[in-house]
Structure 1
Amino acid sequence: MASKKHPKHPIVLRFEGIDPGDIGGYEAHRYRKGGDLGHIDREKPKPRLLIGTETWADEARAEIKLMKLETFAAELADLDRRKRRKEIEKRRIEGPRDPWRASRHGPMRELILTANKEWFEQTESSDVEFSTSKEELFEKRAVDWLKEHFGNDVIHARADLDEQAYHIHAVIMPRANVQKYGTECRLLQPSIHPLIKDYEAAQDSVGEWFSEIGLARGQRHKQAIRDALNDGRKPPANPRHVRPAAWRAKQERKLAEKEATLEARQREVVEREEQAEEIIAFGEAVATGGIDENGQPTTPAQQTDKTASPTPARNSSLGFTIARKAYRMAMKRLRGKATEEAERKARVKVAKEVAEIKAADDVIVEIGKQLPEGMRARIAKVRRKLTARIMRLDPNMKGRFEGPVSGGDDTR
């Protein structure tokens, strides 16, 4: 039966600059007493030492201090041979200098070797047969590779077993001997190691070294950039390695922001529900006559009792404010409609009254035509009263009631 095919996972190699002053923090994390410990599984075995001694950090600091003093002594001896008395006094005051060239990366390197955790969890492979565990196999290849390419400059290496994926940390102290001050001096110089100087060469090296256990080289980013430039395409962005602690901190921030957003939404839902309850309570109180549309008590007892609460809505709450505003607008519209209806009815009534008065006036005019002259004067007086009443009812009727009782005679 053919074994199950598995995709080839890349071998992961990463360099990080390290300053001698950082060694204390590095050791605190190794003993799980400091640094980023949130991802540590206390139930798993603690880190295992692979290269170096338990006192490697003290030994490294002591060696660096000795380098400083040796170089300082050589410098003073050189100035003395050249009779530079003033410079000797100045340098004695300044003291020893660090035995390396200052840079943003520091003179030492921390190296991390690992692979995807899925590779460590695979139990069978179509092209590689394992008689030992994946971790043991990886560990042996890693130690051999470190010693092959960095020799005694690998002053420390350990395997971390209590994190999400098995990985190896190593510290490189790149020792170099240079001619200085008329003698040979020791200092730290990362560029003496080709694999530190050339990142792509380092990736080629581990890719080839670990291919025998089923791992592959990572992506060739520099070659991809060169190919893109040659073809006139936009080159891919350089990969930016993020330290696990920084990655976890970023993920924790994202999670915290997500939780904060969710809490804000939940609070908003609760607030809206409370507002809805207050609006409903306000409406019920208005409907039952407990309060008016302004939220004020309507019964004398409630008006005098300052502690009376006809509705659970609070005067300062948003729900109360929304409901009061809505009811005010509704009542205003209703009153407006009522006023319009009343005016319409009034106009109908006035028109009816005016018509009745006009009919009466017509009757009076006809009667006046049949009466003697003396009686006409009295009728004209009655008509003036009627006209005044009509004008009060409808000013537009002015002129419609003017004229003599009989043709040609003005008896008003």
Structure 2
Amino acid sequence: MTVQPKFTQAQPVILDEAPVVLRFAGLFPQGLGKFKMHDERRGGDLDHVDQELSRLNQVLAGGPGWQQQIRDEIAEMRQHNHQEHLRALKAKSRMKDARKLEAEGPADPWRSCSRGPLREGIITVNKDWFGGAGLLEWDPERVSAFRKTAMSFLLENFPNGQLRYASAHVDEEAYHIHFVVAVWTEKPSANRGHQILLQASENPLIKSYEHAQDLAGEAFETIGITRGERRAEARRQARAEGKPLPERRQHVPPSK
């Protein structure tokens, strides 16, 4: 029998203010299966999860076939971009290059990158803002306010289908929302034709981490959650003044 963790706290505390936590991580399409497996609590690190509560986790955006839809779009754009590139080369009478491209076959519809063309994210706040460690300690009104604010923020800032999936987890110490973003952008050129690429940085929040934190701070201010520390700004100022740089903050998972 597997013993799952229980979250207990003798003296629940509800913070009036706490910084919103918004993080992004790169994701390759082949990692979607692993993401789904962990999201559904079928694998991955589950040591910090109370699996008796996992049935209460809630899908907030995205239907059952959202992952396959992304894969289908990638396959379609792979072919589309290949044909467009061939058309553009032949239009310029670059037949040698066209024959080489035909032999190579279609390429992935994104530019080479180490992080992956998709983004997975998490949005949460210190567990004490909800009331303590775990579902039994949380204030339901605060959980509801956080969920509504978070989803409004995500839908507004990842419009036109960019937000592919979001799920709320209640089986860890802090309530949090996982999400996946796919950003398609058009890149027409005379040499390659009308290319359609996955490029996360086309979204302003992903392009600028500071901008993302600013917007998140503004969105959550209405429910008493503040912006995170301006660490990048502090590092720039310290560098300009010749002072020691503040230590870079390490990512802390919801379980901690």
TM-score by length of 1: 0.54
Aligned with 2:210 (options 186, 190, 200): 200
Aligned with 2:78 (options 68, 81, 93): 68
Within the alignment, does 1:135 sit opposite 2:176 as a pair?
no
Give the counterpart letter for 1:210 in structure 2. F
| Percentage identity across paired residues of the two chains | 39
CA distance in 1 between counterparts of 2:179 and 2:111 reads 22
Corresponding residue number in structure 2 for 1:369: none
Higher-helix-fraction structure? 1
Corresponding residue number in structure 2 for 1:36: 45
1:176-215 map, 5 Å: 176-180=185-189, 181=191, 183-215=193-225
Q: State the SS of the aligned residue for 2:152.
A: helix
Query: What are the Cα deviations for residues 342-369 of structure 1, in whole angstroms up to 9, with x where unaligned?
Result: xxxxxxxxxxxxxxxxxxxxxxxxxxxx
CA distance in 2 between counterparts of 1:197 and 1:56 reads 24
Aligned with 1:159 (options 145, 168, 172): 168
1:147 CA displacement: 1.0
Query: What are the Cα deviations for residues 178-235 of structure 1, in whole angstroms up to 9, with x where unaligned?
Result: 1134643211112211111111111111111101111111111012123323443212
Aligned with 2:89 (options 70, 79, 85): 79
CA distance in 2 between counterparts of 1:209 and 1:53 reads 26
Corresponding residue number in structure 1 for 2:153: 145
TM-score by length of 2: 0.84
Q: State the SS of the aligned residue for 1:134.
A: helix
Give the counterpart letter for 1:104 in structure 2. S
Q: Is the Cα contact below 8 Å between 2:15 and 2:131 reproduced in 1?
A: no
CA distance in 2 between counterparts of 1:95 and 1:162 reads 45
1:342-353 map, 5 Å: none
**Which runs of 5 or more residues in structure 1 are unaligned?**
123-130, 248-412
Query: What are the Cα deviations for residues 298-330 of structure 1, in whole angstroms up to 9, with x where unaligned?
Result: xxxxxxxxxxxxxxxxxxxxxxxxxxxxxxxxx
Q: Is the Cα contact below 8 Å between 2:15 and 2:128 reproduced in 1?
A: no
Within the alignment, does 1:58 sit opposite 2:68 as a pair?
yes
Query: What are the Cα deviations for residues 153-195 of structure 1, in whole angstroms up to 9, with x where unaligned?
Result: 0111111111221110111101101113464321111221111
Number of aligned residues: 235
Q: 1:110 to 1:228 in 2, by over 3 A?
A: same
Q: State the SS of the aligned residue for 1:219.
A: coil
Aligned with 2:18 (options 5, 9, 14): 9
Corresponding residue number in structure 2 for 1:395: none
Query: What are the Cα deviations for residues 227-259 of structure 1, in whole angstroms up to 9, with x where unaligned?
Result: 3234432120221325569x8xxxxxxxxxxxx
Corresponding residue number in structure 2 for 1:127: none
Give the counterpart letter for 1:145 in structure 2. F
CA distance in 2 between counterparts of 1:135 and 1:195 reads 24
Q: Is the Cα contact below 8 Å between 2:14 and 2:130 reproduced in 1?
A: no
CA distance in 2 between counterparts of 1:178 and 1:42 reads 45
Q: 1:6 to 1:83 in 2, by over 3 A?
A: closer
Corresponding residue number in structure 1 for 2:231: 221
Q: Is the Cα contact below 8 Å between 2:123 and 2:177 reproduced in 1?
A: yes
Q: State the SS of the aligned residue for 2:158.
A: helix
Within the alignment, does 1:26 sit opposite 2:35 as a pair?
yes
Q: Is the Cα contact below 8 Å between 2:239 and 2:245 reproduced in 1?
A: yes
Q: State the SS of the aligned residue for 1:17.
A: strand
Query: Could you say which structure has the greater relative contact order, defined with CA pairs below 8 angstroms and 6 or more residues apart?
Result: 2
CA distance in 1 between counterparts of 2:233 and 2:102 reads 51
Aligned with 1:102 (options 85, 98, 112): 112
**Which runs of 5 or more residues in structure 2 are unaligned?**
1-12, 133-138
CA distance in 2 between counterparts of 1:105 and 1:192 reads 15
Within the alignment, does 1:232 sit opposite 2:242 as a pair?
yes
Q: Give the root-mean-square deviation of aligned CA atoms.
A: 2.2
Higher-strand-fraction structure? 2
Q: Is the Cα contact below 8 Å between 2:149 and 2:219 reproduced in 1?
A: yes
CA distance in 2 between counterparts of 1:157 and 1:32 reads 15
Higher-Rg structure is 1
CA distance in 2 between counterparts of 1:165 and 1:242 reads 12
Q: Is the Cα contact below 8 Å between 2:48 and 2:172 reproduced in 1?
A: yes
Q: State the SS of the aligned residue for 1:133.
A: helix
Q: Is the Cα contact below 8 Å between 2:118 and 2:181 reproduced in 1?
A: yes
CA distance in 1 between counterparts of 2:199 and 2:68 reads 20
1:5 CA displacement: 8.6
Corresponding residue number in structure 2 for 1:397: none
Q: 1:5 to 1:32 in 2, by over 3 A?
A: closer
